[in-house]
Copies of this chain bind each other. A is one copy, B any other.
């Protein structure tokens, strides 16, 4: 599926900016911040439009958001089974303390959690940190 088709499939318009954002996200093996995306764009675009596009992507189930260790958002492409307001791509994330890069780790098994009385679980997030291959 092309990026154009992907956008239409999720009810979004295929603009230059959005096609560019998807190109960058697809070409990356890790989650990208809005800053990295802005820097990588081959078209001019306002920061606000990037934020709005990323929010639209997340809402539509095209990308998911991860908070890096310092609270800023990173974005990565979702799998095929995410839709509008419905994300089904739970997996662990790894953040390198050297370069700060955030990776999606589908291979890591997620724990089954049992909470104390009174708490009702919705989702669990396993966030790992350490050193990545490049930073050893």
List chain A positions with a Cβ less than 8 A from chain B: 67, 69, 71-73, 92, 94, 97, 103, 105, 107-111, 113-116, 118-133, 136
Contacts and interface: CB of A to CB of B under 8 A. Distances in A.
Nearest to A116: B107
A9 to B, nearest CB: 28
Contact of A129 (B69, B118, B122, B127): B122
Given A67-B67, A72-B71, A126-B125, A115 B132 contact: no
Contact of A122 (B97, B105, B115, B123): B97
A120 B92 contact: no
A119 B133 contact: yes
Contact of A128 (B72, B113, B136): B113
